[in-house]
Structure 1
Amino acid sequence: MMACSRSCSRILGVSLGISAQLAAGANLALFFPDWEVTYLKNGLIGKHAMRGAGLWGGGLMVFFAAILITLIGWRRGCFSNTGPCKSMLVSTLAGCLALLGAFVCFITSGVALKDGPFCMFDVPSSNETQASKHGYPFKGLNDRNYLYNRFLWDSVCIEPRRAVIWHVIFFSTLLSVSIIQILLVLAQLINSFLGLFCGFFEKREI
């Protein structure tokens, strides 16, 4: 049973590490709409992307926790001769760290999808002409949710040209990855508790 618990830790640790890299990559892509550097240089990136929850939350925090969980599973480094109590404690702390990072990424991505992308769009001016400004054209529009109205994707944002689809794809990726991370962390927490009980049981058998 202990060997099974360690095997699960290896699998879950590697899975969390891969998901952390996906989250970081998705957040990095949001800095470069249409793969253009100009918007980042001019400070024309949305606040949700600039918060970098996919980098430091779903990325760095989860990746660090994944390393610890994987080391526990392989019993490497300072975890080579640790008992079940210490392993469970470290695994639980690492899981809580990853859970916090994934949860922050989940909340940020959900709010970003609700508010819509940051882009240049037309607004009516006082002299009945069109003026353009940067902002969130879909924010607060409860009567027409842009996520379900594909016509708005190409008709509202002027620049970046594919601002809406870029925003939807990568924040949806962050949202999905963070959900997967939360599920993996919960599985690891259950696995660590099972490993602790199995360790005590094996000691009593001896």
Structure 2
Amino acid sequence: MLSSPCMMACSRTCSRILGLSLGTSALFAAGANAVLLFPNWDVTYLLRGLIGKHAMLGSGLWGGGLMVLTAATLISMTGWRYSCFSKSAPCRNMLIALLSSGLALLGALVCFITSGVALKDGPFCMFDISSFNQTQAWKYGYPFKDLHSKNYLYDHSLWNSVCLEPSKAVVWHVAFFSALLCMSLLQLLLVLIHLINSFLSLFCSFCEK
């Protein structure tokens, strides 16, 4: 059976790895959300206010990005025992762990829910409403939500036939919101591991004393 000091060292190593992993996932989430603001790398849609509400909400920037990155920094500082964390008492370390976990959990959860809703509603694009009624007109909106189309995620024939502008709007939307969904799911898993690791560290600290 491992001694308590050895377990404590393993716990700190785990915190360093978790901090680095969460920080990396936060940067990827922020990057994915930023790209969603520039469909087909075109800035004019953002300048004209033709970006979907899910991307404009920016949950990948401030939720899965900034909030998780802040939590990751706290976790890493605890693992490396940096500055004021070097002589922190077990209970104080546990408080920091709960604070960082709560922050990361909230950010990742908001990002996860927003990404799921975005994938359900579909992209914001210009479409021809004459496909659904007798009036010849084009407008910007959510064709896969407002007009109660078939589930576009399973019917790939709709991907290039419904949205007229931006080009490949569906592919862009699905690709980056799926990435955000996966990143936030990974973050939730890492937060759970961090909580388990923190409780084990607290238990070992008391055993050592």
TM-score class normalised by the smaller sequence: over 0.9
Change (3 A) 1:141 1:133: closer
Q: 1:116 aligned to 2:122?
A: yes
Amino acid of the structure 1 residue aligned with 2:195: L
Encode CA deviations 1:65-112: one digit per residue, 9 max, x unaligned.
Answer: 000000000000210111211111101110010000000000000000
Counterparts of 1:142 and 1:192, CA distance in 2: 47
Equivalent residue, structure 1, for 2:3? none
Amino acid of the structure 1 residue aligned with 2:87: N
* Unpaired runs of at least 5, structure 1: none
* Identity level (%): 69
List aligned pairs for 1:72-151, cutoff 5 A: 72-124=78-130, 128=134, 130-139=136-145, 144-151=150-157
Counterparts of 2:124 and 2:149, CA distance in 1: 19
Counterparts of 1:142 and 1:180, CA distance in 2: 31
- Give the structure-2-normalised TM-score: 0.94
Q: 1:155 aligned to 2:165?
A: no
* Unpaired runs of at least 5, structure 2: 1-6
- Secondary structure in structure 1 of the residue aligned to 2:150: coil
Amino acid of the structure 2 residue aligned with 1:146: Y
Amino acid of the structure 1 residue aligned with 2:181: L
- Give the structure-1-normalised TM-score: 0.95
Amino acid of the structure 2 residue aligned with 1:112: A
Q: 1:22 aligned to 2:42?
A: no
CA positional deviation for 1:129: 5.1
Amino acid of the structure 2 residue aligned with 1:194: L
Q: Please identify runs of 4+ aligned residues in structure 1 that moved more than 2 A.
A: 127-130, 140-143
Amino acid of the structure 2 residue aligned with 1:185: V
Q: When the two structures are aligned, how many residues end up with a matched partner?
A: 202
Counterparts of 1:50 and 1:29, CA distance in 2: 11
CA positional deviation for 1:144: 1.4
CA contact (8 A) 2:143 2:149 kept: no
Q: 1:47 aligned to 2:53?
A: yes
CA positional deviation for 1:124: 2.2
Counterpart of 1:178 (choices 160, 175, 184) is 184
CA positional deviation for 1:15: 0.2
